[in-house]
Structure 1
Amino acid sequence: MINSMHPTEATIVIADDHQEILDFIADDLEEQYRVIKMTNGQEALDYIKLYPVDLIVSDLIMPIMDGYELCTAIKDDLQYSHIPFIMLTAKNSLQSKIEGLEFGADAYIEKPFSPTFLQAQISSLLRNRKSLRAHYDATPPAQSDVDAEATGDQLFLQKLNTLILENMSEQTLCVDMLAERMCMSRPTLYRKIKALSDLSPNELINITRLKKAAQLLTNHGYKVYEIANKLGFSTPSHFTRNFQKQFGISPKEFIIKMKKNASSSHN
């Protein structure tokens, strides 16, 4: 295993048993990313289980554990299924492409390939991951329903969101409770939430409460003290401070703004 350090957030694991190809890909990517080089799927999987990884580039044919097996191990495990996976292969048949995608690969690239094309695929997949994080941006109102075509990661976030909403008035709502209900260890839940939303579990709980508050203020006409009590805030002033910090506007100002928007839309 060779680590190449670069001041960037994204860590990419490359798995290929041909050293020349491994070095070729790494040399091209390490100017932009932190690159971890592995010579088979098992080495890559062992590393991914220990350290945060943002994307995987894997050859198909490798000893010990091939690309299909690595992809399956990643995509079948809720702890790591969010990691984008690019499959590299010398096989250029349509059937091999279909098999790669059926095993869960996010992209399938034939050898020989253009380094520029690989860079574009990596950039696209990382952008898509960031767009999922926008699910938890700082703009009220609250979340929309996940549609029938939702990915496993979106369904995970929806399940987590529902769990928070159902228990937000409870004093027992905490990271440990969420981990237990999601059948995960506390560290695993932390890593998964951080990877998908760029938030800590406690930050996620807080912003979910506040987005629900925005929804209640908009659609149900609750008073500020009623919402504070309903959503588990210790006092109305505590709720108001958190709401203003998150959205840059007080609950009362938010109500006035929503009423103005509603009025102008009817005119």
Structure 2
Amino acid sequence: MLVEDNEDFRFYLKDNLRVFYKIEEASNGKEGWQKALALHPDLIVSDISMPEMNGNELCEKIKSDVRTKHIPIILLTALTTEEEQIKGLETGANDYMTKPFNFEILHSKIKNLLTLHQTFKRTYTRQINIASPEMEIESDDAKFLNAALLYIEENLHNPQLSVEDLSRHIAMSRVSLYKKCLKVTGKTPVDFIRSVKLEKAAVLLEKSNKTIAEICYMVGFSTPNYFAKSFKAKYNVLPSEYIVEKRNKTSELG
């Protein structure tokens, strides 16, 4: 996500980065904070000098909230003093760049942070081998993830599947489930359940001959309209467009 009040500069960054990433935009820190809560971006690039809420305030808010503190942040500024850089880093920013800068360096920093973040998340799903080759210990986070995924898959068709149901099944309070889910997946429980359903839907859209409406109900959405809206929010295309896109790729490969 790009948070920048200068429209021309924001367009320049978006135009160069959209080749590699799906880009969301915000024109100030207040809008950036609201979108961070709603969209849970993989990374945020934010200017510091902005109206409503500046980049340092945005960074401090994101890094002090359990729902968003896992999101890496790169701060951009025209202020070059060491004091300003230290101030930015003290708010929890992962990296800092002064304007003007080389776009390739920014892109490298983004790639490095995303790679580091993905590596960190993968450690939660990896089983830990200890000295004895016959013994395998599964981390608590991996156990949680496996149990949650299995329960969601077993109840995939159920449109009434709720966070309360998952909470009871895993024997966690809703607050504990919320914190654990954010830590392990980077998503709230509601977003996580919806994401699993949509990932299953994507596989069915690509691999099966079922209609979109049939798949909608198979993965537990109550209406095709809500399913289409949710699918587009995750994959940036409608289910019908996704099918065409995948079939075209398959025919090209064939």
| Shorter-chain TM band | 0.5 to 0.7
Task: Tell me the residue number matched to 1:17.
Answer: 5
Q: Which runs of 4+ in 1 moved over 6 A?
A: none
1:178 Cα deviation after fit: 5.2
Question: Which residue type is aligned with residue 40 of structure 1?
Answer: N
Q: Deviations over 1:168-219 (max 9, x none)?
A: xxxx984461543x3x64xx653442128xxx69xxxxxxxxxxxxxxxxxx
CA RMSD of aligned residues (A): 2.8
Unaligned runs of 5+ in 1: 1-12, 143-157, 165-171, 202-267
* Residue 177 (1) aligns with residue 172 (2): yes
Q: Return the alpha-carbon distance in structure 2 between the equivalents of residues 175 and 64 of structure 1.
A: 41
Which residue in the other structure is 1:101 paired with?
89
How far apart, in 2, do the equivalents of 1:174 and 1:19 lie? 48
Which amino acid counterpart does residue 172 of structure 2 have in structure 1?
A: M
Task: For residues 45-80 of structure 1, give each alpha carbon's deviation from its aligned partner in whole angstroms, at most 9, with x where no partner exists.
Answer: 111111231000000000000001100110000111
Partner of 1:125: 113
- Following TM superposition, by how much is the alpha carbon of 1:38 offset from its aligned partner in structure 2, in angstroms? 1.1
- Does the CA contact (< 8 Å) of 2:63 and 2:92 recur in 1? yes
2:75·2:88 contact (CA, 8 Å) conserved in 1?
yes
Superposition map of 1:69-84 within 5 A: 69-84=57-72
Alignment of 1:134-149 (within 5 A): 134-141=122-129
| CA radius of gyration, larger in | 1
Describe the shift of the 1:173–1:26 C-alpha distance in structure 2 as closer, same or farther (beyond 3 A).
same
Shift of 1:137: 4.4
- Is this contact kept in 1: 2:73–2:94, CA < 8 A? yes
Mapped contact 1:14–1:36 kept (Cα < 8 A): yes
2:83 matches 1:112 = no
- Do the aligned residues in 2 keep the contact of 1:179 with 1:189 (CA within 8 Å)? no
Aligned to 2:42: 54
> Any unmatched runs of 5+ in structure 2?
131-138, 145-166, 194-254
CA contact (8 A) 1:60 1:88 kept: yes
TM-score after normalising by structure 1:
0.54
Within-5 A mapping of 1:208-247: none
2:251 aligned residue: none
**Count of residues paired in the alignment:** 159
TM-score (norm 2): 0.56
Matches of 2:39 and 2:186 in 1, distance apart? Answer: 12
Between the aligned residues of both structures, percent identity stands at 30
| Residue equivalent to 2:215 | none
Q: Is the 8 Å Cα contact of residues 42 and 64 (structure 1) preserved in structure 2?
A: yes
Structure-2 change in CA distance of 1:138 and 1:191 (3 Å):
closer
Q: Check the 8 A contact 2:124/2:184 in 1, yes or no.
A: no
1:22 Cα offset (Å): 0.3
Would the alpha carbon gap of residues 26 and 175 (structure 1) be closer, same or farther in structure 2, given more than 3 Å must change?
farther
Change (3 A) 1:175 1:48: farther
Map 1:20-39 → 2, pairs under 5 A? 20-39=8-27
Find the aligned partners of 1:122 and 1:176 in 2 and give their Cα distance: 38
Which of 161, 181, 194 is matched with 1:190 structurally? 181
**What per-residue deviation string (whole Å, max 9, x for no partner) do you get for residues 14-49 of structure 1?**
011111110011111000101111110010111111
